[in-house]
Amino acid sequence: MSKAKHVSETPATQLLKQHKIAFTEHTYDYVDHGGAAESARQLQVDPHAVIKTLIMEDQKGAPLIILMHGDREVSTKNLARQAGVKKIAPCAIEVAQRHSGYQVGGTSPFGTRKKMPVWLEETILAYDKIYLNGGRRGYLLGIAPGVLTQLLGAKPVSVALE
């Protein structure tokens, strides 16, 4: 399925190994603005099972992570309501990178520089295995979605735009 290419450890893989969490590694050729659709195409997996990690902030500038299916967009209005804040908007790229410690396009919810609340689209939990960024562009981890709630305390929400 994926090229067997060794990828050096990232803060994400270090955290998962530290907690003895099983994951598979999947490398692909990163394409600027290709997003989840491009990685899903190259790895031949369902784009709905490829999960994007988005760094956003509330009206006070407090950062948060929202995990969403690669082929869906987030309703920031619904997310703000379900998170109990007035407003949520995407961060500027440099702000997102400062919060996460990762380069945009390679952001993992695991091992972020700053501890942030994590929200996830509830339908992600229905999958046996999801693919999300491992902390580097062109590098996804295959993992059981339950890890997101167990390890990160991710709270399920229903915020996907159809």
CATH of the domain at 93: 3.90.960.10
Q: Is residue 84 part of a domain?
A: yes
Q: Give the CA dihedral 10, 13, 17, 18, nearest 10 degrees.
A: 60
> Cα(102)–Cα(148) distance, rounded to whole angstroms?
18
What global pTM score does this model have? Answer: 0.93
Residue 101, domain extent: 11-161
Q: Is residue 1 part of a domain?
A: no
pLDDT at 6 over 70: no
The separation between the first and the last C-alpha atoms of the chain, rounded to the nearest angstrom, is: 29
pLDDT at 109 over 70: yes
Q: Is residue 3 part of a domain?
A: no
Q: Is residue 27 part of a domain?
A: yes
How far is C-alpha 152 from the chain's CA centre? 12
pLDDT at 5 over 60: no
pLDDT at 3 over 70: no
Q: Is residue 6 part of a domain?
A: no
Q: Is residue 2 part of a domain?
A: no
> Cα(23)–Cα(16) distance, rounded to whole angstroms?
8
CA atoms within 13 A on the CB side of 147: 21
